[in-house]
């Protein structure tokens, strides 16, 4: 229940999947710290810009891991409300429905409930992040040539979890007092994908009005 979630203080630590850690002492960890420091200044447009002299792939990699962790935590807080019964299809409002395919295990898109879809999606993202050939954590190991297209697919899919939470589970988010957290996280995500043109505008359509509202103040 919501009240027990509050009292136990488990709210912040409950993630949907295990958190993906960036190894301390690594250059990527330094980049993450830099991102956190600029975020603290409150200027999200500045915070998403590529730091001077840094590698774009590495910057996108660090932020992608960070967004996975944020969404993991946000969705973790509302899993009790996202069930086979409440969400028999994965949707973002009445006009948008998502069917799952990962291109390897499931080639033909399947219709499934939101919790099942999000489970597939987050497991798939986790597998990509854990793949050292795609997301090298060691210094000097180059990123693969297809890294950007993989990152774009990851971010496009993570967006769908935000879209589902906003459209189908906004009431519990408000009850849990997670609204500011969700809005800040999503705004950061949107500024990031806009800065590097990582998600096609059509994909963002389910939250277009919200995106305009959140970003108009910071033009």
Tell me: the pLDDT tens digits for 43-62?
888 889 999 999 999 999 99
169 is in an annotated binding site: yes
82 is in an annotated binding site: yes
Provide the pLDDT for residue 217: 67
Provide the pLDDT for residue 12: 46
Provide the pLDDT for residue 1: 35
| Residue 175 neighbours by CB under 8 Å, 6+ apart | 2
Q: pTM, whole model, 2 decimals?
A: 0.89
Positions of the chain with pLDDT lower than 70, given as ranges: 1-14, 41, 217-219
164 is in an annotated binding site: yes
87 is in an annotated binding site: yes
Provide the pLDDT for residue 36: 84
Q: For residue 189, give Cα distances in angstroms to 55, 64, 105.
A: 19, 9, 28
The CATH class, in words, for 67-216 is mainly alpha
């Amino acid at each position: 229940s919501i009240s027990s979630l509050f009292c136990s203080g488990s709210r912040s630590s409950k993630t949907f999947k295990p958190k993906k850690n960036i190894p301390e002492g690594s250059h990527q960890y330094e980049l993450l710290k830099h991102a956190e420091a600029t975020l603290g200044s409150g200027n999200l447009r500045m915070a998403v810009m590529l730091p001077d002299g840094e590698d774009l792939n590495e910057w996108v990699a660090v932020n992608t891991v960070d967004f996975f962790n944020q969404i993991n935590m946000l969705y973790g807080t509302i899993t009790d409300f996202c069930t086979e019964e409440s969400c028999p299809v994965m949707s973002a409002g009445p006009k948008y429905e998502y069917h799952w395919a990962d291109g390897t295990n499931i080639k033909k898109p399947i219709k499934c409930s939101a919790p099942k879809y999000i489970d597939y999606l987050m497991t798939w993202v986790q597998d990509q992040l854990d793949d050292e050939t795609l997301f090298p954590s060691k210094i000097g190991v180059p990123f693969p040539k297809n890294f950007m297209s993989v990152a774009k697919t990851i971010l496009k899919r993570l967006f769908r979890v935000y879209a589902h939470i906003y459209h189908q589970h906004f009431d519990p988010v408000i009850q849990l007092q997670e609204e500011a957290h969700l809005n800040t996280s999503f705004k950061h995500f949107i500024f990031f994908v806009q800065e590097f043109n990582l998600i096609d505008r059509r994909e963002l359509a389910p939250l277009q009005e919200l995106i305009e509202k959140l970003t108009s103040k910071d033009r």
